[in-house]
Structure 1
Amino acid sequence: MPEKDLAIVFDCGATNLRVIAMDIHGEIVASESTSNNTSPDPEFPGGVIWDVEEMWGKLCSASQKVMAAIDTKRIAGVTVTTFGVDGAFVDKQGKMLYPVISWQCQRTTPVMNEIGKYIPLEELYAEAGTFPYAFNTINKMVWMKENRPEVIENSHRFLFITSLFIFKLTGELRNDATMAGTSMLMDLQKQHASEKVFAALGISPEILGDIAESGEQAGVVHKKAETETGIPSDVPVFFGGHDTQFAVFGSGANENELVLSSGTWEIIMARSAGFKSTKDELAAQLTTEMDAEKGLFNIGQNYLASGILEWFAKNFYPEFSGDALYGKMIADASEIQPGESTVRVNPAFYGEGGGNNFGAINGLTIQTKRGEIYRAFLESLAYRLRFGVEALENAGGFKAEKIICVGGGSKNNLWNQLRADVCNLPIQLVDQKETTVLGAALFVFAGCGVAASPREARKAVDYKPQVVLPSDDQQTYDRLYHEFKKTIQ
């Protein structure tokens, strides 16, 4: 009989729906991807929803193709990972009573702005740990309470979108901890539904039900799901959860280690045994969620990063594209010595600093070259990273020893060196592009007994780490960082 060495991961993103078969070494054996999209809310003009049946149909089609490409006897188990916060109210049979309101829907913005009429914002943040984003689950519950109260009254559970697909695979109506941790409805320190928050909303915390841990078995693939997906019935299905938590674990990070996901936006996140959620953390825009491993927390901060660089490239290097574009910009920037240029950049180009703190390019002279400006952009984002690292260390009560960097921004060697110099920390690059899927797969292998734990399962993965160490320029950048810090406080 073939070894049970494949995990099937249903990976549901905002733009793509994927089904991936990954082996115990983190190698993709088969995969199929299709586009995802939001839909208009048929019950609320201007509203934006996820059509779960359409998504499920696409996932089933992708799964059928993956099953045709592998030996299904090798499947150890199945799991699901998705974006956070979104879900639906369902009855005891799992029937959705209202469509899944998308995190992209604007109807919840005024709800978050007025959440104080239910519970003071600082008190809510202290309890839940989650930054008060307008798309948080709590706002969808309040909107439903104020606009469709009968939906809540007739509900058995609120199921996060991950669990809606777990239900379609197994018939189980149960949520997982990592998704619940994104909701702003949890007592995060105690890691269960917050009686205080639910009492303030006038909703029973039983709506979330008994919350499972990642890697806990939800059930097995039932006959109907076998017909739909091609996955053999009786294959075990394990609770997955929020994609961010699996990306952090899949990167290889341990407790008190930092992971930087560098793309259009950068997310810097720490795995920590503790966290703080005072007004200082709120002001620093920190958000804390429950780690995929019980008892740990993920403290995070995000900001616009490569999106700014793309704006710069389009406006300052319009004659270049692709690899030639970034090769030219990096070459030009590398000609500038640390501290040589007068150009300074405030990278708050998305207005994320609040108030009047918007993006700016300062210190231009008649001799300024575009390579200087690009280097200043890279330096400013490295400063912004250190600012985040210090906030996370303070909130988690630890001292970081390295930063694991993943994503498209990890390919820029100059940027990596600047990060190492500014933060005075090694930057570790890993040869693993699918950290979310890998992280989810590792919990499958632990859940079904192929490995004793997710960490044991992770030992079978060769990350081929490359480390960028701080250079002799670290002292120069330490001085420049403290100058930068004054401009954003």
Structure 2
Amino acid sequence: MTERHGGGPVAGSLTARAAVGAASVRPGEIMSQDVVIVLDCGSTNLRAMAVDGHGRIVARSSEKSGTEPDPDHKDWHYWPFEGLYDKLCRCSRDVASQIDVRSVRALTVTTFGGDGSFLDADGRMLFPVISWKCTRTLESQRHMSRYIDPDRVVQISGVGHFSFNTLNKFIWFREHRPDLFDTAKHFVFVSSLFTHRLTGRLTNDATLVGTSQMTDLKTQDFSDAILSAVGVDRSLFPELIFPGEVVGPLLAGAADALGLPAGIPVVSAGHDTQFAIFGAGAAPNRPVLSSGTWEILMARCASIDIPPPDAIDDAFTCEWDVLRGHYNPGFQYVASAVIEWIGRNMYGELAGSAKYEAMIAEAKAAPADCRGVTVDPNMLVGKGAIANLSLDVDRGTLFRATLVGLAGRLKHGLGVLETVGGFKADELTLVGGGTRNQLWTQIKADTLGIPVRTLEEPEITVLGAAMFALKGAGIYASAEEAREAFRLDCRYTQPGVPA
């Protein structure tokens, strides 16, 4: 059952309110108000949004994202950086046409993590941006022990063993394209590739760097031990900056492409997950689950102790928080991608919203015990499994079993975080695209045995990035102050009540 709350505290410093969205903003209402532009480069969609100082999204535009396959290896994938940049520019021009651009005070960029590319001395890209979806790094991950003890890497970096980690890409480059280490002047992570294009300044956003498995968790800098193991010098990586710092003024050429005024500050943001967590107001005993292609469960901590190698789950990780000196212990696994797999293979006759409406309706009609069917959704690493199939199991039952399996993965992950962070969760805050599936939310509440608080605003990543852009623009003294001004609605889903 869902309970709506229009008052009372939301996780952290947020307070609930009656929903105020772009649809409630009258044309011309914001003409005299300050806004910031957030460019959000996601794995599925690219968006540009204008956000005002009260957290209202007053204009938005989107296009589809996606990777390109390698011509010779269908399972190898690249991000078409120029194409992504052009789409973001089109989205920005569309947003600019909806507002008074004289009110724009800053611009920021948030992206997926882990990916980047080599640049030469003139800032030209030397190799395409390898996507986290690319399978070439599976072999590299298996080779890590040739260079350095994998357990030692986790103890130093805090980042768990995922094939898409930047370290695995560097192992692939070392083994297959060693020439790049001789010709490259810089390696820049993807969000900073965009800010370099916008400002001409070479930097690396800390929240992206913190996902790389090439860093030292304690010093929050690159690890000399890990870099030397793969033959990389620290000088390859430009200056580290944290969210909220101004990268530089928007160049005239980029301003024309974006439809925005030249000279406005471009503010550092970075890894989308960190901004969803911050925007949702994560607190030590109030973990936040960002539910999308991946489900990423994280908390925010001022200190962290990585457990010994034999106690680390293969989905555990610890990344750098948006604030220097803070950390995000987390547990992550593929989620909506598994649901999309079910939809693609079992509901192929349907498309769009009709497909997912049918999937949810059939899953709700299925028995709660799923007729004994269990699903292990760990499909990314080839460990997924379906057990106890019988002739009376239909696709709706199988989909419900998949949702239950994903909720079981969440429960295990929450247990890991509680152990590492030394807390006991009394509720879960839920953000992201997965919030639209209320059946899934109810199953999560039932599986965890605690209330699930869902933030009504689906664009919490964008709002979290906007908080730092507003800080960088000088509109607020800190991102926390901006978050206090963003009043977001929420609802509660209680365990034990039928959806």
Q: How many angstroms does 1:6 deviate by?
A: 1.0
Quote the Cα distance in structure 1 between the aligned partners of 2:79 and 2:300: 30
Q: How many angstroms does 1:174 deviate by?
A: 0.4
Candidates 293, 306, 314, aligned match of 2:323 = 293
Q: Secondary structure at the match of 1:79?
A: strand
Quote the Cα distance in structure 2 between the aligned partners of 1:323 and 1:47: 32
Q: How many angstroms does 1:295 deviate by?
A: 2.2
- Residue pair 1:255, 1:271 contacting (<8 A) in 2 also: yes
Candidates 418, 432, 452, aligned match of 1:407 = 432
Q: Secondary structure at the match of 2:241?
A: coil
User: Quick check: 1:451 aligned with 2:476?
Assistant: yes
- The residue number in structure 1 matching 2:120 is 91
Q: Which amino acid aligns with 2:242?
A: E
- Residue pair 1:262, 1:407 contacting (<8 A) in 2 also: yes
Quote the Cα distance in structure 1 between the aligned partners of 2:438 and 2:39: 33
User: Quick check: 1:258 aligned with 2:292?
Assistant: no
Candidates 416, 419, 432, aligned match of 2:441 = 416
What is the TM-score when the length of structure 1 is the normalising length?
A: 0.85
Q: Name the Cα RMSD after superposition.
A: 3.2
- The residue number in structure 1 matching 2:357 is 323
User: Quick check: 1:428 aligned with 2:453?
Assistant: yes
Candidates 39, 42, 54, aligned match of 2:68 = 39
User: Quick check: 1:199 aligned with 2:241?
Assistant: no
Q: For residues 419 and 41 of structure 1, do their structure 2 counterparts lie closer, same or farther at Cα, with a shift above 3 Å needed?
A: closer
1:99-154 Cα shifts (integer Å, max 9, x gaps)? 22222333222111101111011111111122222221112222223333332223
- Residue pair 1:275, 1:395 contacting (<8 A) in 2 also: yes
Aligned residues: 464
Q: Which amino acid aligns with 1:288?
A: C
Q: Which amino acid aligns with 2:471?
A: A
Q: For residues 465 and 420 of structure 1, do their structure 2 counterparts lie closer, same or farther at Cα, with a shift above 3 Å needed?
A: same
- The residue number in structure 1 matching 2:205 is 176
Quote the Cα distance in structure 2 between the aligned partners of 1:310 and 1:142: 31
Q: For residues 26 and 148 of structure 1, do their structure 2 counterparts lie closer, same or farther at Cα, with a shift above 3 Å needed?
A: same
Quote the Cα distance in structure 2 between the aligned partners of 1:405 and 1:211: 30
Q: For residues 379 and 105 of structure 1, do their structure 2 counterparts lie closer, same or farther at Cα, with a shift above 3 Å needed?
A: closer
Q: Secondary structure at the match of 1:459?
A: helix
User: Quick check: 1:113 aligned with 2:147?
Assistant: no
Unpaired runs of at least 5, structure 1:
474-489
Candidates 145, 152, 156, aligned match of 2:174 = 145
- The residue number in structure 2 matching 1:396 is 421
Q: For residues 161 and 317 of structure 1, do their structure 2 counterparts lie closer, same or farther at Cα, with a shift above 3 Å needed?
A: closer
Quote the Cα distance in structure 2 between the aligned partners of 1:311 and 1:191: 37
Q: Which amino acid aligns with 2:165?
A: N
Q: Secondary structure at the match of 1:140?
A: helix
Quote the Cα distance in structure 1 between the aligned partners of 2:179 and 2:72: 14
Q: Which amino acid aligns with 2:493?
A: V
Trace 1:293-312 onto structure 2 (pairs within 5 A): 293-306=323-336
1:70-106 Cα shifts (integer Å, max 9, x gaps)? 1111112001111111111113332222222222333
Q: Secondary structure at the match of 1:31?
A: strand
Q: Which amino acid aligns with 1:144?
A: F
Percent identical residues = 39
Q: How many angstroms does 1:47 deviate by?
A: 4.8
Q: For residues 302 and 329 of structure 1, do their structure 2 counterparts lie closer, same or farther at Cα, with a shift above 3 Å needed?
A: same
User: Quick check: 1:346 aligned with 2:374?
Assistant: yes
- Residue pair 1:119, 1:200 contacting (<8 A) in 2 also: yes
Q: Secondary structure at the match of 2:488?
A: coil
1:348-371 Cα shifts (integer Å, max 9, x gaps)? 14446877x723237x698x8988
What is the TM-score when the length of structure 2 is the normalising length?
A: 0.83
Q: How many angstroms does 1:376 deviate by?
A: 5.2
Q: For residues 156 and 3 of structure 1, do their structure 2 counterparts lie closer, same or farther at Cα, with a shift above 3 Å needed?
A: farther
- Residue pair 1:17, 1:34 contacting (<8 A) in 2 also: yes
Quote the Cα distance in structure 1 between the aligned partners of 2:293 and 2:385: 18
- Residue pair 1:260, 1:403 contacting (<8 A) in 2 also: yes
User: Quick check: 1:279 aligned with 2:304?
Assistant: no
Structure with bigger gyration radius: 1
1:441-482 Cα shifts (integer Å, max 9, x gaps)? 111011222112212111222221112234499xxxxxxxxx
- Residue pair 2:359, 2:399 contacting (<8 A) in 1 also: no
- The residue number in structure 2 matching 1:24 is 53
Q: For residues 291 and 256 of structure 1, do their structure 2 counterparts lie closer, same or farther at Cα, with a shift above 3 Å needed?
A: farther
